[in-house]
Structure 1
Amino acid sequence: MALSFGRLAHKAFAQSETSQTLATPQSYKSRAFAMEGVGSFSVGPLVPSLYGNPHLFGDWGGIQPWLTKRGIYFNVAINEEYMANVTGGRTRDNVLAGQVAMGLDIDWQQLAGFKGFWTHLLVINGHGRNFSSTLGDSVSNPEEIYGARGNVVAHLVSMYADKAFLNDRIILSLGDIPTGSFFAYDYIACSFMNVSVCSNFAPGKYVPGGRDWPSGNLGGVLRIRPTETTYLMGGVFAVSPHSYNGGISGWALAQSGLGKASSQIELGWMPSFGRNKLRGNYKIGAWYDNSSYPNLYEDIHGNSFQETGLSRRYEAGVTTAWFMFDQMLVRNGPGVADGLVVLGGVGYSQGNVVAMRDHEWIGLVETGTPWHRNSDQVGVMFQHMDMSRTVALQQKSSLALGVPFLSNQWGQVWGVQNWENVYEAFYSIHLMRGTTLQADFQYLQHPGATTTFKDAAVIGGQFTTNF
């Protein structure tokens, strides 16, 4: 999968000189807290967005203030990425990939007096080619941009509406929604280029019942905020059996095979500690997909289906669960993201039908740096991914029979999969208003979760700007 609109939002968000930058008009204030995931919910999405953030071309000659005064928030963002492996991997290669993202969010209370009602539309253009396949590592996906939509002129990411009740204590969202834009979401992780935790974790986002950006599922989310620092979310989504929900461009919403459902739930706590308001986000959740999926190894009698040639055993339902957190440790400035933040988590999916069983990660991100580059950002992260015992049995069976390895949710397989570690470090430079340039380094231990290829050292760079 590829995700970067959240990354662009976070980077632009981090560039705001003070929290007051996003505090006016009032709608910006609620959005700012929603983007950080603390404080209070906004009527809009519980995800980062670009409105209220600095724009490269300022206020567009007065057009932006005219639009926002009427509740219309239109933004265009560009993300261009370069990545290459300097050693290890399947082949030596370097690639360019990028996207243009266009978002339209409308506050219908400002526009037409319809209280507590918003609509959201996000469309992207994608271009470039896949670095992961040439590297021989579809598991960790070190590049962020190229993925589920490939080269496409206009791909629909999301199209949904929000209705708020009881002074925003309850919010109902309905439409075409990437489930990972609400559940198990961590926008800070999108500071890193490796997409395995941006902004939703693997393995959950690679399974049909929980697909993340840029692939949406038809459904709805109900968010309840019992207190200022807690929330409860529940969602129900139609499960699509297609690799590309809505087709390659995402606009075919009524595809065949939408008879099953995925039910999601998440509980969150968003405290602030001490006089410096050290903000935190803690969340635990799970989802259950009541579809039937083929066992990765067993036939109807529990033996290798490749060896016996019998039909595969189908398992009723699949479960995914997660715990995630981020916590500011040190505050460096007045902005809501200015400080040293630790983030981490653990994710699990049912290993007899999902090729990756569990995923753990821990990292540090520094924004509002104390070395007089207040809009720069630096970070380090470690990830560990375990593939399932069942998929390893399947691959050992393929090896014994002398037949090609079968692809799984992570794409092509080059050997018996076991585990993979990823070490990543980046530095992001604020070039000018709404614009950043990032340098990134990753070391992949057991690329593709196999020992087929040597460990890979990968360098990358990313240019992002919000018009």
Structure 2
Amino acid sequence: MNAFKTTSRLARACATLVLWACTLAAAPAFADDPSDADLSGDWGGARTQLHDAGIDFDIVYFSEFATNLQGGTSTKYAYAAEGSIASTLNLQTLFGWHGASFRVKFTNRNGDGLNQQAELNEIMPSQAIYGRGSVTRLSQFYLQQDLLGGDLRLKLGRLAVGDEFGDFPCEFMLLPFCGSQIGNLVSTAYNNPVSQWAAYGRYAFSPSFYGAVGIYQVNPSWLKNSQGLNFGSPHGTIGALLPYEFGWQPTLNGLPGQYKIGGWYETSSLDDVVLDENGGNRLQTGDPALKRGHEFGFFMSIVQQLTAPAPGSKRGLTAEVYWMLPDAHTATVDQQTSVALVYHGPFAARPDDLVGIGAARIHVNSHLSAGEALYNADLPDGMTPLDVQGSERSYSMFYRLQLLPSLYTTPELQLIHDPSGSSRNQDDVVFALRTVINF
């Protein structure tokens, strides 16, 4: 890899993004009119009437375009999209059922992934919404019951693990900085758009401190496109996922924060990442994997506003930190860390825009790396050595332009160093563009 060429390309792209952002300083923001929150408006008054009757709709369209400026087999262009329609029924308004509601959500994903198209070899891809098949899925289907004045919240039905546990901002397109990482790195936990039968409980011990637990069905059949609209339960349940989380939401020096720590225990039988059933290196022996009777892991996240131009202002600098420790015996990645700084309202004339920069490290399981090194040390004649994987390091910067209350677009520049944790792979430089419309 020509390091000078990579640095030069990245510097030019960064300069272009920064100059483009600076030209927005003088551009006036839209009027802060709540009626503009949805692009389709109030539907001639019908939306307000439905809300008053206890029925709300959310219709959202995501698109993510990406192209590789460097890395991969050749320059490619990829476009992925996600459309969702959801409805929340206030059962108290509709039927007098105090504290109860019901939510249903359908999600369609389609398009292409740049990681696959250009063979970028990224562990955590450049397009966060690509994956889980080009298909429509039932993403949420659950009853919610609030008790004890709202301190206790229960949910029962079809839930996505990442919607309830380890939730994290998703201002970036690059996946290590976007949303809950449990469903990205734990093979039996599924984020949106895939849902599983589950039960969830959360109790607020105080206005700023809560604890949550859940139990989720583990069934890999939910990943099949054919099960996207299955309201029942396909064959193939192999265990249960038991996540937990504690959260603290303080106001420090007048600035809001959110601190979470949690983890999970999973009961299904899973393959060891490198050992065979006899305790040998299965990369060498080719024998069936050793089965582990469970797995567990931990996560931690911090979102803390650091500055504000005035008390109570949402404008200012926010720090975002995510750390995750998957199971060392069963997970391909045994540690992930991401750190980002996001400035809300970088210009007085653009109070709803965002600008951010972040860095992440995705560390390949040390047991797997040791197995790869052992394989290479005793390499049979004529066989190709394996890459001994280490860490994939990702860097990203973006500017989110809020064009309307219901519409924003985000150009983003990404650098992925040692894709797949291998120094043999050329660094990837990716330009990406996200557009989100709330209808």
Question: Same fold per TM (> 0.5)?
Answer: yes
Alignment of 1:436-455 (within 5 A): 436-455=408-427
Match of 1:368 among 304, 323, 345: 345
Q: Which residue pairs with 2:289 in the alignment?
A: 312
Alignment of 1:87-98 (within 5 A): 87-98=70-81
RMSD, matched Cα: 2.5
2:102–2:143 Cα contact (<8 Å) kept? yes
Match of 1:136, as an amino acid?
L
Deviation at 1:383, TM superposition (A): 0.5
2:196–2:222 Cα contact (<8 Å) kept? no
Q: Which residue pairs with 1:142 in the alignment?
A: 126
Match of 2:163 among 155, 169, 181: 181
Structure 1 residues 64 and 192, CA gap change in structure 2 (3 angstroms): same
Q: Determine the C-alpha separation between the residues in 2 that align with 1:233 and 1:196.
A: 24
Match of 1:157 among 139, 145, 153: 139
Structure 1 residues 298 and 64, CA gap change in structure 2 (3 angstroms): same
Q: Determine the C-alpha separation between the residues in 2 that align with 1:136 and 1:71.
A: 47
Matched pairs, number: 407
Q: Which residue pairs with 2:230 in the alignment?
A: 251
Structure 1 residues 309 and 379, CA gap change in structure 2 (3 angstroms): closer
Q: Determine the C-alpha separation between the residues in 2 that align with 1:56 and 1:428.
A: 18
TM-score (norm 2): 0.86
Q: Determine the C-alpha separation between the residues in 2 that align with 1:144 and 1:17.
A: 31
TM-score (norm 1): 0.81
Q: Which residue pairs with 1:78 in the alignment?
A: 61
Structure 1 residues 246 and 437, CA gap change in structure 2 (3 angstroms): closer
Is the counterpart of residue 210 in structure 1 residue 182 in structure 2?
no
Deviation at 1:447, TM superposition (A): 1.3
1:99–1:124 Cα contact (<8 Å) kept? yes
Which structure 1 residue ranges, 4+ long, deviate > 6 Å from structure 2? 15-18, 333-336, 402-405
2:397–2:414 Cα contact (<8 Å) kept? yes
Deviation track 1:413-434 (CA, whole Å, cap 9, x = no partner) reads x943211111100001111231
Structure 1 residues 90 and 457, CA gap change in structure 2 (3 angstroms): same
Q: Determine the C-alpha separation between the residues in 2 that align with 1:219 and 1:393.
A: 37
Q: Which residue pairs with 2:179 in the alignment?
A: 199
1:246–1:254 Cα contact (<8 Å) kept? no
Q: Which residue pairs with 1:232 in the alignment?
A: 211
Is the counterpart of residue 423 in structure 1 residue 406 in structure 2?
no
Is the counterpart of residue 241 in structure 1 residue 201 in structure 2?
no
Match of 2:437, as an amino acid?
T
Deviation at 1:60, TM superposition (A): 2.0
Q: Determine the C-alpha separation between the residues in 2 that align with 1:248 and 1:206.
A: 22
Q: Determine the C-alpha separation between the residues in 1 that align with 2:70 and 2:286.
A: 40
2:244–2:264 Cα contact (<8 Å) kept? yes
1:193–1:440 Cα contact (<8 Å) kept? yes
Match of 1:131 among 114, 137, 142: 114
1:137–1:449 Cα contact (<8 Å) kept? no
Match of 1:369, as an amino acid?
P
Deviation at 1:285, TM superposition (A): 0.4
1:291–1:317 Cα contact (<8 Å) kept? yes
2:333–2:365 Cα contact (<8 Å) kept? yes
Is the counterpart of residue 325 in structure 1 residue 302 in structure 2?
yes
Bigger Cα Rg = 2
Instruction: Name whichever of 228-237 and 335-344 sits farther off.
Output: 335-344
Percent of counterpart pairs with the same letter? 23
Deviation at 1:196, TM superposition (A): 2.4
Q: Which residue pairs with 1:4 in the alignment?
A: none
Deviation at 1:371, TM superposition (A): 3.6
Match of 1:167, as an amino acid?
G
1:128–1:146 Cα contact (<8 Å) kept? yes
Alignment of 1:163-174 (within 5 A): 163-174=145-156
Match of 2:173, as an amino acid?
M
Alignment of 1:41-56 (within 5 A): 54-56=37-39
Structure 1 unaligned regions, length at least 5: 1-14, 23-51, 406-413
SS in 2 for 1:111: helix
Deviation at 1:443, TM superposition (A): 0.5
Structure 1 residues 309 and 236, CA gap change in structure 2 (3 angstroms): same
Q: Determine the C-alpha separation between the residues in 2 that align with 1:372 and 1:248.
A: 47
Q: Determine the C-alpha separation between the residues in 1 that align with 2:384 and 2:65.
A: 31
SS in 1 for 2:230: coil
Deviation at 1:214, TM superposition (A): 1.6
SS in 2 for 1:242: helix
Alignment of 1:315-354 (within 5 A): 315-332=292-309, 337-354=314-331
Structure 2 unaligned regions, length at least 5: 1-28
Structure 1 residues 333 and 439, CA gap change in structure 2 (3 angstroms): farther
Match of 1:238, as an amino acid?
Q
2:30–2:403 Cα contact (<8 Å) kept? no
Match of 1:205, as an amino acid?
N
